[in-house]
Structure 1
Amino acid sequence: MSMFAPQLPAGPLADLTVVELGEGTAAAFTAKLLADFGATAIKVERPSGDPTRQRGPFPDGKEDPNASGLFAYLNTNKLGVMVDLATNEGRDALAGLLSDADIFVTDLAEAELEASGVSARHLREQYPELIVAVVSPFGDGGPWSERIGDELTAFAASGLAYGTPGIPDAAEHPYDEPPLHPSCFVTETLAGVTAATAVMVAVRGRSIGSGGCHIDLSEQAASACIQVRDLMPSAYGNAVYNRLLNPVSIGRMPNFYLPCKDGYVTVAAPMDIHWTRLVEALGSPDWAVSEKYATEAARVANWEELRGNLSKWTQSLDSEELFALGERTKMMIFPFYPISRMADSDQVRSRESLVETTIGEAPARMAGAPFALSRTPWSLRRPAPRLGEHNSLLADKRTRVTT
């Protein structure tokens, strides 16, 4: 059953209008976060359509630009217009939308924005009350500002690739083993969250008389700023946190993933009180009560051997048995959930972290809001637009749509 519910109360951002001009995840996710809580978000696509329409995943693997799971997720609750920015008519149409907007969000390259007459400089001159948020791989300024990039480029340049995996994962060699990237658009999504936060700060500033502004957001910087663990030792001392399995990197142990009968579990017993409980749960075997593991420092120094001994035990049980044992003994043991198991968990269903919807007439699930508002709840009010679905908006630049 579809969760689109236009009868629900207007969201807390219902008095804001957002114009989005983007062709990646960053701008689309920024506008989505605002649209999901009531802002009127108008997605502007060029005649070729947003590239995410072609990326899928698609129901039954059949390519359909109106049934891309990625596009549907990023663009629910938005209106959509198709504008040819290579023409004067198209540029005039976009200007008409901007004349009635509060926020403009884009992740197009500066050269493209200049060519279309919507650079930050131009918009700030023409619309002094407009909040202009430009998301780019490296920001406006610095020797890399004119470089073209994407998700992987910014992720790699931020240092996250060599910080992945981190604790509790480990590599045998920090550079011989390749850097890793999650399967999601982590840098662009993080940039979207950061940009949406910056936009709301700007909205607040405008409400007290500060006027519009230009938000210049670097995806590289947004990803770099979360790496406190790696950056601080580099800045303040000689300690290097890296992917090696060594006492400098791993901290107190056990605090690691271990194999079990049906996957992996995390076993976190970093302090003496936790270790004592774990030894009791093990049945106090001779190896566990030896001097090798009697102190926190000893467990770190002998971690590789300790990991092998613990793995023999965890592999004799499945993840639910280990979790139940942790509950009984007040230990931190929890399974590593694959996506399918997470999606079907009682916790996710109870909190409606995922919601039922339809994409291309096929049933689907997508992420809801991670937080709840009581009086103005999050809701799916409309599906992602078809290309040019709401081009009637362009007929009157003053049209305001109640969602």
Structure 2
Amino acid sequence: MGALSSLRVLDLTQVLAGPYCTMLLADMGADVVKIERPGGDLIRPNPPFVESAQDEAYGGYFQSVNRGKRSLELDLGAERDREAFLSLVEEADVVVENYRAGTMEQFDLGYETLAEHNPALIYSSIRGFGDPRTGETHRQGQPSFDLVAQALGGVMEITGQEDGPPTKVGPGIGDLFTATLNCVGILAALHHRDRTGEGQYVDTAMYDAMISMTERAIYQHSYTGEAPTRQGNSHPTLFPYDAFEAADGHVVIAAFGSNHWNALCETMDRPDLAAEYPDASSRLSNRETLRAAILEWTRERTCDGICDALEGRVPVAPVQNTADIFDDPHVHAREMLVPVAQPGADREVEIAGSPIKMSETPPRPRGRAPLLDEHREEVLRDAVRTAESD
């Protein structure tokens, strides 16, 4: 039993942001019913596949963020399906959707309508630019994706090498961070409902979330009047805090504190650097000289050699790829690689586990992602039984 095992969540989301949010709730035990439009979530056919896109029910994209959910296919434009959805809303705790602003209203299924059927309902939306209910702007109604959010929110401007172009962060943080914040909002709203009985609307925008994520750039601009830009893997106010080339790859070293800096200099057999640059200010203003000195030491050593010399005394780590992650015993001990069935394939696949650890109700992926409309009979049957018992 998960911490949220008493909750019923109706998930009208697709692609990444919304499904990731409801995945977090499912991992914590919520009964998440994925309400899919005719034909299902757009990302069901997205690769990769184990072997065959024709034989397998869905690809890795869908599997990863829809594990542990139940699926019900509904056409909200059809009266019968709309009524079925409303019957589910009456017994639900949370509804989550990530349509453009105004879409649910076109079906007469906006927050106000659903709240009439269930005043205690938590209704949550994830949109590129938020909902007019919480602050109306000219951008609402425009489509948005991770790339757009990272561009507008300043993430791309401060990511990449100094002499290179603005660069998108690899993972879809515009989706994932927004989804995580939305999950926090839902849980806060549920806590408020437990105290007051009052439902409410929760709105999280991708653009807003990226501004929150780039908090350092925001306060830098306010304090200095200058717009921060790219500076590779280094930090604007700390040194050393950077990636350094090794003989067989790269390592990161974060030795900006004097205790770590002295330990680094001792390991490199450079007591002169510790004496000449004893404080953070002197190290920051002479970062290029010091970067060259550290590189001279790291380039002659392997990543393992550098980490063995520094670990336990200086924050250090190799820059890993996913093969390294799969080989790391720490990752397995933390249950961060979880096997699930892949329908249509002859072997299981592994997906990222839950980073939220709890002693009594540990979150975990609760089985594979659903087949389209796999749970129609049981979901609608449960709704009928609940209505009859009421």
User: In structure 2, do the counterparts of structure 1 residues 263 and 246 end up closer, same or farther at CA, with 3 Å as the change threshold?
Assistant: closer
In structure 1, the residue matched to 2:75 is 84
Which residue of structure 2 lines up, in the alignment, with residue 44 of structure 1? Answer: 35
Q: Distance in 1 between matches of 2:188 and 2:42?
A: 30
Q: Deviations over 1:73-131 (max 9, x none)?
A: 11111110111223112212211221221110000123421222222232223321211
Trace 1:325-364 onto structure 2 (pairs within 5 A).
325-327=309-311, 330-360=313-343, 361=345, 362-364=347-349
Instruction: State the number of aligned residues.
Output: 379
For residue 4 of structure 1, what is the aligned residue in structure 2? none
Percent identity of the aligned residues? 27
Q: Could you tell me which residue of structure 2 aligns to residue 95 of structure 1?
A: 86
Q: Return the alpha-carbon distance in structure 2 between the equivalents of residues 31 and 295 of structure 1.
A: 47
Over 3 Å counting, the alpha-carbon distance change for 1:64 and 1:236 in structure 2 is farther
Partner of 1:3: none
Structure 1: segments with no counterpart, 5+ residues:
1-9
Structure 1 position 190 matched with structure 2 position 181? no
Q: CA contact under 8 A between 1:54 and 1:65: conserved in structure 2?
A: no
Q: 1:224 aligns with which of 178, 188, 211?
A: 211
SS of the equivalent of 2:28 reads: coil
Query: Which ranges in structure 2 are unaligned for 5 or more consecutive residues?
Result: none
Offset of residue 290 of structure 1: 8.6
Q: Distance in 1 between matches of 2:19 and 2:316?
A: 37
2:305 matches 1:310: no
C-alpha displacement at 1:386, in angstroms? 0.5
Match of 1:53, SS state, is coil
Per-residue CA deviation, residues 12-67 of structure 1 (Å, 9 max, x unaligned), is 21111000101221221121111112111100111121011122222136466623
**In structure 2, what residue type is equivalent to 1:233?**
Q
2:380 match: 394
- 1:250 paired with 2:250, answer no
Q: Which residue of 2 aligns with 1:155?
A: 150
For residue 234 of structure 1, report the CA deviation from its aligned partner.
1.6
SS at match of 1:32: helix
Q: CA deviation at 1:191?
A: 1.4
- How far apart are the structure 2 equivalents of 1:375 and 1:82? 34
Q: Does residue 1:376 correspond to 2:367, yes or no?
A: no
Instruction: Tell me which residue corresponds to 1:322.
Output: 306
Counterpart residue number, 1:281: 267
Give the whole-Å Cα distance in 1 for the aligned partners of 2:43 and 2:243: 35
Partner of 1:75: 66
The amino acid across from 1:358 in the alignment is A
SS where residue 133 of structure 1 aligns? strand
1:360-401 alpha-carbon deviations (Å, 9 max, x no partner): 33322112221322322223333211011111123552457x
**What residue identity is the alignment partner of 1:161?**
M
> RMSD of the TM alignment (CA)?
2.5
1:212 aligned partner: 199
Q: Quote the Cα distance in structure 1 between the aligned partners of 2:381 and 2:269.
A: 76
Q: 1:61 to 1:276 in 2, by over 3 A?
A: farther
Equivalent position SS for 1:182: coil
Q: Would the alpha carbon gap of residues 90 and 64 (structure 1) be closer, same or farther in structure 2, given more than 3 Å must change?
A: farther
- Per the normalisation by structure 1, the TM-score is 0.86
Of the two structures, which has the highest relative contact order with CA contacts closer than 8 Å and spacing of 6 or more?
A: 1
Shift in CA distance, 32/306, structure 1 to aligned 2, threshold 3 Å? same
Q: Output the amino acid matched with 2:323.
A: S
Deviations 1:224-251 (A, max 9, x none): 112221111222333543324799x632
Q: What's the secondary structure of 2:311's corresponding residue? A: helix
| Alignment partners' CA distance in 2, 1:246 and 1:87 | 52
Q: Secondary structure at the match of 2:202?
A: strand
Matching residue's letter, 2:241: N
Partner secondary structure for residue 372 of structure 2: coil
Point out 4+ residue stretches in structure 1 off by more than 6 angstroms: none
In the superposition, the TM-score normalised over structure 2's length comes to 0.89
